[in-house]
Amino acid sequence: MTQQQAHGSVRPGGRTARTRAAVLDAALGELGAGQYAELTVEGLAARSGVHASTIRRRWGSVHGVVLDLFDHVAGEIRIPDTGNLREDLRLLAEGIWTLYTSAQHRNTLFRMVAAATAHPEGERTVRDFFAARTRQVSGMVRHAAARGEIPQDTDVLAVIEAVSAPIYYRLLVSRQPLDSGVARRTADAAYHAARAGVFAFA
């Protein structure tokens, strides 16, 4: 499955790649310090060494930069399409779990969710990111419906939400340990529910 081109990316190497890396590193540093509400294009420019006009031209705003940062981080999760929905959902869940074994990635997530509760722009960024990511990975479910593994009228976004929501609940709410067993059980539960038509449109 082809992934969408990230915000701010023009070509995979050269000056564009170095500029993107510098700006995203700056945004990550600001988020790690809990400073989402204070994020500005000028502040990112000062921290990254990239001119503010360049940042505005490529990302438009701080919102665009942070969305690109989230896209970049989430890009470490491979979007599977093995031809078997159960395996695809397991790989997706394990990819989410593996990503957040990184303390840096967990802290970035925690800071963004905290910003979403206190800052309208943070709320918009988190909402837009998860909506876009859910749409992006839902192709595996559409393909499964086309193959006849699950009902044709399955709500594909609801299946992806059913896989990811329990993992994020553990990360953000209950703060219980995550392991590959949790990821696998979550994926299997979503798979069996989809097969049974639980996610079919009424």
Span of 3-17, 101-115, 145-159, 179-193 with lowest mean pLDDT = 3-17
The fold of 14-61 is Arc Repressor Mutant, subunit A (1.10.10)
pLDDT tier, 33 (very low <50, low <70, confident <90, very high otherwise): low
User: Is this structure's pTM higher than 0.95?
Assistant: no
Q: Which pLDDT tens digit goes with each residue over 56-95?
A: 999 998 888 888 888 787 777 888 989 999 999 999 999 9
CB burial of residue 2 (10 Å; 0-12, 13-18, 19+): exposed
Domain map of the chain by residue range?
Answer: 14-61, 76-195
pLDDT for position 9: 45
Q: Which CATH class is domain 76-195?
A: mainly alpha
